[in-house]
Structure 1
Amino acid sequence: MEEKAIFAGGCFWCMVKPFDTMPGIKRVISGYTGGHVPNPTYEQVASHQTGHTEAVEIIFDPQVISYQELVNIYWQQTDPTDAMGQFQDRGDSYRPVIFVQNEEQQKIAEQSKKELEQSGRFDQPIVTQIEPAQPFYPAEDYHQNFYQKNPLRYEMEEAGGRTAFLKDHWSK
């Protein structure tokens, strides 16, 4: 049995590896969702004219890894206090969103967000959105598994503020 989870947290290149390496993950696909243009290209999404957000679609085995565990991993990859981008990636196509597939995912995501808000881990409001899943369009092949294909460029992307922020907020 397989289930899907869709998360947006800035550049999709940086959102693949944390999930891809976990037991129970079948595939992590970089792509676009939440917009009004069918089958958008990277260039169209980057123009900020399609309404799409860069995201990852995770196909997982819920017998091995739960949706709750995936949400917990998600929070630890993002700045949930930044509504209009993540780290050096700015604009609506990089906004943090949990796209839920069903009522159960909605409840888990909302409860998890509430717990994060109450944790005191961040001194600003948690602004990550929780929205119903919309059609997901896989990105071009060169975006898939980017951290494996282009490790140096991936490290540069990670170094753009993400690594330091995550270490500062999640290593406690």
Structure 2
Amino acid sequence: MGLFKQGRRPAARLIVKAPVSGEVKPLASLNDGVFSEALLGPGCVIEPNEDELTAPFAGEVVMVAATKHAIGLMSDEGVELMLHVGLDTVNLNGEGFQVEVQPKTHVRAGERLMRFSREQIQTAGYPDGVVVIVTNARLFKQVETLKEGMVKAQEDLLSVSK
């Protein structure tokens, strides 16, 4: 069981697009035990060079954190994904985040999910990396990061295979 709802049968393979432009790094590079040890699932972090988060695939918004720093998605193929902007940004209580979607909304790949202020996050003393995690990875054979170094939003980022 993943973090979100169940019921969709996972596809054989799904390509997850980068939700933001920036530098791709492994989860292990984070100074946070939960993410760096992949306790919520495998994935990567993108050090963003822009302030806009877009949908990495077509699917449903299943969760928006009350503090606006995280969004949960379910792809049409059954892949659960969490997008988490920054570390400890829950402490900002939504300041610097403008979410543009609601739970139970269907989104298209590339559709804007939120705007966030990297400046405000950094000024508050928090890292601004965008964590991208497959939260139901146990249903799949492999989750592979396809990109290293710089990535542009909507370029191939992760491959999730059954």
TM-score (normalised: structure 2): 0.34
Higher Rg: 1
| Bigger share in helix | 1
Quick check: which one's strand share is greater? 2
